Amino acid sequence: AQTVTQSQPEMSVQEAETVTLSCTYDTSENNYYLFWYKQPPSRQMILVIRQEAYKQQNATENRFSVNFQKAAKSFSLKISDSQLGDTAMYFCAFLRYSGGGADGLTFGKGTHLIIQP
Amino acid sequence: SAVISQKPSRDICQRGTSLTIQCQVDSQVTMMFWYRQQPGQSLTLIATANQGSEATYESGFVIDKFPISRPNLTFSTLTVSNMSPEDSSIYLCSVERPNSYEQYFGPGTRLTVT
């Protein structure tokens, strides 16, 4: 079984600053993906970014980028030029896959990110 | 990404009763999942529902308590049976975008059991 750990229950930064959310995971699997999801107060889960474990290059999506350290089993999310709309719970998630398909997601406990005006 | 709807969006139910939650997708998908999010907590996978086969339940979740139907490639239901206050949670369905392993979520159903 795999576990996902987010050690920062809450973070607060000023608008326009850069913030990094931490995530570590534990697995013996070789075939997996990692994701960051955002859940604003509306409770809608929004996929922010994904990383294939077999890729060394870190994924980026506009202001969002990850630092994927496979050997250290670390997967942090960096948000640049933070905006008020980035205020939300952020969940790190792990997905195992095989030839028969994929499992469901295993989530961390989440980090509540507050962007201050 | 697919457009996913859930009904009802919220409900207040009495203990001992059952509630069926519907999940509708605007395109055909093979893999659908049901998750539970207890108050202030993260999401936990309840089961995986593939069309044409029995749902696969995670440890701690049983079919008698959470029966699932998957009659076609665009629809699934989750029933929460014989409810107790401990079942008060948000229930979310998700679908996997084909050939991507990305999961997209419905808006959730907020269930309160009194």
| The pair of three-digit structure tokens given for residue A90, joined into one six-digit string | 């952020």
CB of A97 closer than 8 Å to CB of A31: yes
Q: What is the pLDDT of residue B28?
A: 93
Q: Which residues of A touch B42 (CB under 8 A)?
A: 91, 107-110
Q: What is the pLDDT of residue B110?
A: 97
Q: What is the pLDDT of residue B65?
A: 98
pLDDT digit string, tens, across residues A41-74 = 999 999 999 999 999 999 999 999 999 999 999 9
SS3 labels along chain A:
CCEEECCCCEEEEECCCCEEECCEEECCCCCEEEEEEEECCCCCCEEEEEEECCCCCCCEECCEEEEEECCCCEEEEEECCCCHHHCEEEEEEEEEEECCEECCCEECCCEEEEEEC
The HSE-up count of residue A35 (CA atoms within 13 Å, CB side) is 22
Cα(B94)–Cα(B106) distance, integer angstroms: 6
A82 vs A1 pLDDT, higher one: A82
| Percent of chain A clearing pLDDT 70 (strictly above) | 100
A117 vs A102 pLDDT, higher one: A117
Contact (CB<8Å) A104/B45: yes
CB of A85 closer than 8 Å to CB of A96: no
| The pair of three-digit structure tokens given for residue B4, joined into one six-digit string | 């996913």
Contact (CB<8Å) B102/A43: no
pLDDT tier at B106, thresholds 50, 70, 90: very high
The residues pairing with B105 across neighbouring beta strands, listed in sequence order, are: B94
Of the listed ranges A77-81, A102-106, B38-42, B85-89, the one predicted with least confidence? A102-106
Contact (CB<8Å) B42/A45: no
pLDDT tier at A100, thresholds 50, 70, 90: confident
CB of B6 closer than 8 Å to CB of B93: yes
Q: What is the pLDDT of residue A1?
A: 84
**How close B58 gets to chain A, by Cα (Å)?**
9
pLDDT digit string, tens, across residues B36-94 = 999 999 999 999 998 888 899 999 999 999 999 999 999 999 999 999 999 999 999 99
Q: Which residue of A has its CA nearest to B96?
A: A102
Q: What is the pLDDT of residue B51?
A: 83
B43 close to A (CB below 8 A): yes
pLDDT tier at B9, thresholds 50, 70, 90: very high
**How close A109 gets to chain B, by Cα (Å)?**
5
